[in-house]
Structure 1
Amino acid sequence: MIKNEKAIVVFSGGQDSTTCLFWALKNFKEVETVTFQYGQRHSQEIEVAKAIAADLGVKHTVLDMSLLNQLAPNALTRDDIEIEQKEGELPTTFVDGRNLLFLSFAAVLAKNSGGRHIVTGVCETDFSGYPDCRDVFVKSLNVTLNLSMDFEFVIHTPLMWIDKAETWALADELGALEYVREKTLTCYNGIVADGCGECPACQLRKRGLDQYMQTKEGGEE
């Protein structure tokens, strides 16, 4: 518990970041959210993030990071790039430098708004091979941010070592399972809640939910 301090949650309005938001609300005295506009295919992501932040009564900042779309073409920002993953290659949904920039700008925001804690939903267990979701990257960046601004930041990664089923379990433990299921946007095709059911993000989300519900129902018998 770090109830007397402030946290900034890197927030997309998806399952993972919303679970992290509930986690932060439980663990910190004051919580803000920051969402990045980087040319996502679906503007719904920004609108969902705004709506959840307003619903939960937390300050929400949207920062323009559209330069990423210019520098790093990817399937999340370009309609002409298919969402796919070939063996031995990073998925086309990987955006070079995204978490590096997001966490860096979140740190600038945190320092200037009186907070030193940054919460992000990155995860090594279900990370699709993204190098900027690894624990070693987060720890390295944490040191770099502290040195660059002479400030004692702490980057928190509540989901780092858990899979999607365990992420649903955490949401349930926080009293937010149905909220996360009904209000969040994970789908690459921009459909809120259970999504399209076909894209990789929806399949991963559903598989984790099914696994958790089977475990939960088995434990209640």
Structure 2
Amino acid sequence: MKQEKAVVVFSGGQDSTTCLFWALKQFKEVTTVTFDYGQRHHAEIECARNIAEELGVSFKVLDMTLINQLSANALTRDTIKITEEVGELPSTFVPGRNHLFFSFAAVYAQAIGARHLVTGVSETDFSGYPDCRDTFVKSLNVTLNLAMDAKFVMHTPLMWLDKASVWELSDQLGAFDFIQQRTLTCYNGIPAAGCGTCPACKLRSQGLEEYLERREA
């Protein structure tokens, strides 16, 4: 039996689109919310809009460009190079992003009568982002319920999956080809396989290769 209404925090990328297909099987009604924070891969917003339209779910864009005024990083500044150094946070880390996004998603959810929040964060393949960890999500879930006198339930179906397993889940959901061809994960704003060189593309490609080898074995 399907549960009630859910809001999917949605970017049009591999992970959030997999979560959207997952949510469509779990909930009676699904809506999506995405965020414009001046990201260098701004094309993801239009990609997300197109996916939501094709799958017949509502789509909401929230203006979060204030993040751009507060934080200089590789995702909000084209002048900053995308780098990953061992022992350091990637230059693509946007401080407070998920904290703010999930909080505003909760405000939106309450406004439309939704109790469930779905996000594609993962502690297994999280690029070192502290706001993708399970402890953070659980902590914020408690905080949101206290702050808003609500009973939100935050769902993280990818939390313990590596990228190969995310591809496997999309296959199980009947969405493998759709996600491979229609999503945008690339930090440089190139859909599908992307640029092939940024960290997001490398992670996606490596996971795909591992899953295909597993599937064909």
Which category of TM-score, normalised to the shorter sequence, fits these structures?
A: over 0.9
- 2:104 alignment partner in structure 1: 105
Q: Which amino acid aligns with 2:165?
A: E
- 1:125 alignment partner in structure 2: 124
Shift of 1:189: 1.1
Matches within 5 A, 1:1-221: 3-218=2-217
**3-state SS of the aligned residue for 1:90?**
coil
Shift of 1:86: 1.7
Q: Which amino acid aligns with 2:25?
A: K
**3-state SS of the aligned residue for 2:150?**
coil
**Separation in 2, partners of 1:189, 1:11:** 18
**Separation in 2, partners of 1:125, 1:96:** 20
**Separation in 2, partners of 1:168, 1:42:** 22
Q: Which amino acid aligns with 1:152?
A: K
User: Could you tell me the percent identity over the aligned residues?
Assistant: 69
Q: Which amino acid aligns with 1:94?
A: F
Contact preservation (8 Å) 2:41, 2:186: no
Moved over 4 A (4+): none
**Separation in 1, partners of 2:3, 2:203:** 36
Name which of structure 1's ranges 165-174 and 36-45 shifts more when overlaid on structure 2.
36-45
**3-state SS of the aligned residue for 1:162?**
coil
Query: 1:12-46 CA deviation, whole Å, 9 max, x = no partner?
Result: 00000000000000100000000000001132111
**3-state SS of the aligned residue for 2:34?**
strand
Q: How many residues align?
A: 217
Q: Which amino acid aligns with 1:67?
A: L
**Separation in 2, partners of 1:96, 1:52:** 27
Shift of 1:198: 1.0
**What RMSD in Å do the two structures reach over aligned CA positions?**
0.7
Instruction: Provide structure 2 residue ranges, at least 5 long, that are not aligned to the other structure.
Output: none
**3-state SS of the aligned residue for 1:201?**
helix
